[in-house]
Amino acid sequence: MTMQPDWISIAQVARELGIDEAEARALAERMRWPTVFKADDTLVLPPRPLTGG
């Protein structure tokens, strides 16, 4: 069985860390998390457990 990475949305990062989406997006950029841009969302691959930088 292959482990699937846990890609999550910027909105989910914001909810989990108690910050707004702009701050979550800035955090993802600053921490250089792998990012996928979709038509209606942006997904990132943060380390787990998720903690702010």
DSSP letters for 1-53: -PPPP--EEHHHHHHHHT--HHHHHHHHHHHT--EEE-SS-EEE---SS----
Note the pLDDT of residue 9. 97
Q: Summarize pLDDT for 21-53 with one digit per residue, the tens.
A: 999 999 999 999 999 999 999 999 999 888 766
Report which of residues 51 and 14 the model is more confident about. Answer: 14
Single pTM value for the model: 0.82
Domains in the chain: ranges and CATH: 1-53 (1.10.10)
29 Cβ contact list (under 8 Å, min separation 6): none
Nearest 5°: the CA angle 48, 51, 53 is 125
